[in-house]
Structure formats: C-alpha cells, structure tokens
Amino acid sequence: MKRLSPGSKRAFEAESRRQVFGAGQSAQVLVLSCRAWARYSGRIDAELGLGDLVILVKDAASGGDGSVVVHGPLLVTPRNWMPAGTEMLEEDDHLVFEHVARGERLEIWIEELYSRSQSPSELSGSLTKLGAEREFSDRLAMHPERIEPGLDIIEREYRTPAGPIDLLCRDRRRQLVAVEVKRRLADNSALRQLRFYLHHLEQMPEWRRRRPRGILVAPHLRRPTQALLNEEPRISFVRLGFEDLRTDQPR
C-alpha cells in the first residue's frame, strides 16, 4: 500500500489519474459517483452493503481538510465518513481512507464507476448565522427584567464544576437565581442541566445562604417536562422566544 494519487487501480487508469491531479489543479474536491460497498472500522465496525453512492473527498493535498463523506440516495447524513486529516491510500482493488492517529479506516470497493470529477475548492465562503442561542442569550442578558421584574445579572456563563450557568442572577429579594436558556424547546435534558447546576450552588458555602432557585427560559416547554417541573418547588418556567426579544419591541 502506498500513498496515492486518488483512485483505485481498477477504477482509475494511470492516464485518468493525471486528470485528477493535473498541473495547476492544486485545490480540488474529488467527486466519485459509483456503485460500491464499504467497510468502516474505528469507533465502531460497520459495513455498508452494495449501493449507489456519491463520495466527496476533500483531499488535504489539494486544499481540503482531508475529510470524506459518502452519501447514498437518502438521508441528510452520510452513510459513512472520515474526519479531517484522513489520508487516501491505495490497495489493489479498492480505495482506502485512513486516519492513523484516530485508528479509523474506511475501505470502499467500487463495482462500477459512473463518473468522477474534481471540483475547484480554492474559496471557502464564510457562514454567518442569526438567531442561534448565543444571540438569544445576548438579548436576554440585556433585558433580564423580562424574565422576572427586579432580576439582576451577577454573571453570565458562571462557571461551576458542574458546568456553566447561562445567567447567574439575584432577584429583588437578593436571593440567588440560576437561569438556563433554551432557544427552542426546553425538554428533560434542560431540566436536568438546571437541577444539576442548582444542586451544585446549594453545596457552595458562598451561595447556599442565598437559597438558590432556578428559572428555565424557553419559547416552549415539552409537556412531560412541564409535569416534572410542577413537582419542583424551586424551579419555574418562563416562556420567552426570540421574537419576544426584538430590540424594536421593548414590551
């Protein structure tokens, strides 16, 4: 086995390999369309039965990060993949992708190659997102009174050994309030987080006298979670969504 020149000996003849790595084509994503089957070993063992696939190789030797994704005709998520830093090797009759440091390996046997092409990958566009949790939390931090009148923020992302508390606050009675923010829906997992943080605050000598309680802030609460919340005297829910915090809509 040796470093390659992407493509199995069978699938790509020497002259086609020149095509793949032609002069001046320093940045390329290799796109293979084929009928193939595959084996992955590493974090688990997996076998992908014969089927039609589109394989994207973001080859590190030509501008990519070495990641590989193998897509079938269905699903958003790939059937197989390899992380950044993967190297493409060659065996007699199949493709081998290997990430030695991680102990991962993906082998693909191509029964029929429908097409191969290289896509330029000189330019990686920037991605900007609006409306993610960070922004929701930002707006909330500017208007903590929207959560509860008289609420003041002591610290954002207050770090405890149990994890970071989104907003550590004091209420109008100067008692301690831990606020957990969810941009979309609050479920049991959110409640577990808040309880975990609260439990820790109650253990801390500097906070336990402030009788910490918790507030879950989200636009929506899952029904079973609401039922569990009703049993929690020290945790409450405040319904607030992104659209409730538009800067041009003060109340």
Footprint of DNA (CB under 7 A) = 40, 42-44, 46, 67, 70, 75-77, 79-84, 104, 106, 127, 129, 132-134, 157, 159, 161-164, 166, 182-184, 187-190, 193, 222-225
Judged by phi (left if over 0) then psi (alpha if -120 to 50, else beta), residue 184 lies in alpha
Encoded amino acid at 139, one letter: R
Q: CB of 158: closest distance to a second copy in angstroms?
A: 16
Of 101-109, 124-132, 149-157, 169-177, the segment contacting a second copy by CB under 8 A is 124-132
Residues found in the chain: 251
Site string for a second copy, 130-149 (x = CB under 8 A): xxx-----------------
- At residue 145, what are phi and psi to the nearest 5 degrees? -65, -20
The entry of a second copy, DNA, none near residue 217 (CB within 5 to 8 angstroms by kind) is: none
In angstroms, rounded to a whole number, what is the distance separating the alpha carbons of residues 83 and 71? 15
Pairing of β 235-239 and β 213-218? parallel
- Both tokens of 10, joined, read 């069978």
Helix, strand or coil, per DSSP, at residue 66: coil
Which residues is 177 bridged to in the sheet?
Answer: 169, 213
Q: Which residues bind a second copy (CB under 8 A)?
A: 27, 29, 31, 33, 35, 37, 43-54, 56, 58, 63-65, 67, 69, 71-76, 78-79, 81-84, 114-115, 117, 119-132, 161-163, 184, 188, 191-193, 195-196, 199, 203, 224, 227-228, 231
